[in-house]
């Protein structure tokens, strides 16, 4: 399991290797990440300066507590609130960056697929698909933030347990969303994707947790996003190699679809 987790982390580093092969293309991927990062900073910086006020407002029952327990408790509450906000911010950042930069990230994905060989013919969805996935990612991020907040309120261990679980859950969500384009291009059903993820849980978790931890570093989300898209493509291909799934039936009218049998005409009588 530890080896598989480390292999998932290595997938992210392989994504960074794309900078060496295609620096211009990867640099374009920074543009939507910068825009999304600036939008999030506009929300997170005021929140960081307001944490003590929010923690004070949320814990009126602690007003009569003796010092230093009151300030210590409210400090932990503030940390937990910010951890929950960061868990949500990671999902919101990815959703914004993927929606804004869909054309850029599609080119990165296509380039990595070509480097790996045998790329799919489909482009894996477009803007509206990215927007729908982004909305789902934000909703999952809200759920993860609530879980982190509830775990963080557990006495003694909550201050550590909440952030750790937040990184792992957020990372798993990120890994599933970032591999979506590669699976969309292959017309994989939700059941097929669940089979792939179930066969490599530790690897998926390693990639996602490493990505999420990079996102938590100031400026890290912007710098890592293009590499995360490239690394997720490598991860998706590794999952397909480890757990092959049956290809979907060809669509009617496609080149690979079988031709209908010829219609038999009754013989015409001769004179």
Tell me: the pLDDT tens digits for 169-201? 888 988 988 898 888 888 888 888 889 998 889
Largest CA distance in the chain: 115
d(CA 100, CA 35): 8
What pLDDT score does 248 carry?
A: 55
Give the three-class secondary structure for 106.
helix
What pLDDT score does 260 carry?
A: 47
Tell me which DSSP letter residue 39 carries.
H
What pLDDT score does 45 carry?
A: 86
d(CA 134, CA 2): 30
Question: Where on the phi/psi map is residue 118: left (φ > 0), alpha (ψ -120 to 50), or beta?
Answer: left
Instruction: Give, for all 271 residues of the chain, the pLDDT tens digit.
Output: 889 999 999 999 999 999 998 999 899 889 988 998 888 888 888 888 888 888 888 888 877 787 888 888 888 888 888 888 887 887 888 888 888 888 888 899 999 999 988 888 776 666 566 667 777 778 888 888 888 878 877 777 777 888 888 888 888 988 988 898 888 888 888 888 889 998 889 999 999 999 989 988 878 888 899 999 999 999 999 999 887 665 555 555 544 444 445 455 555 554 4
145 Cβ partners below 8 Å, 6+ apart?
A: 84, 85, 87, 88, 166
């Amino acid at each position: 399991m530890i080896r598989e987790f480390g292999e998932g982390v290595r997938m992210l580093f392989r994504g960074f290797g794309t900078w060496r092969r295609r620096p211009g293309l990867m640099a374009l991927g920074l543009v939507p990440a910068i825009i999304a990062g600036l939008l999030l900073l506009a929300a997170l910086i005021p929140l960081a300066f307001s944490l003590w006020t929010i923690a004070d407002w949320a814990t009126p029952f602690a007003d009569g507590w003796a010092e230093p327990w009151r300030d210590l408790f409210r400090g932990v509450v503030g940390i937990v609130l910010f951890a929950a906000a960061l868990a949500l911010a990671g999902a919101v950042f990815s959703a914004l960056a993927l929606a804004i930069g869909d054309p850029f990230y599609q080119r990165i994905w296509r380039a990595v697929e070509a480097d790996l060989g045998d790329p799919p013919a489909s482009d894996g969805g477009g803007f509206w698909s990215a927007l729908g996935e982004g909305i789902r990612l934000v909703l999952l991020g809200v759920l993860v933030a609530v879980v982190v907040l509830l775990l963080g309120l557990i006495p003694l261990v909550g201050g550590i347990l909440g952030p750790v679980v937040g990184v792992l859950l957020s990372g798993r969500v990120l890994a599933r969303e970032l591999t979506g384009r590669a699976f969309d291009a292959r017309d994989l059903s939700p059941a097929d994707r669940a089979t792939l993820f179930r066969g490599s849980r530790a690897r998926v978790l390693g990639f996602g947790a490493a990505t999420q931890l990079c996102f938590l570093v100031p400026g890290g989300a912007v710098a890592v996003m293009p590499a995360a898209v490239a690394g997720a493509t490598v991860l998706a291909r590794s999952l397909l190699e480890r757990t092959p799934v049956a290809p979907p039936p060809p669509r009617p009218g496609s080149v690979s679809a079988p031709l209908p049998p010829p219609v038999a005409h009754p013989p015409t009588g001769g004179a």
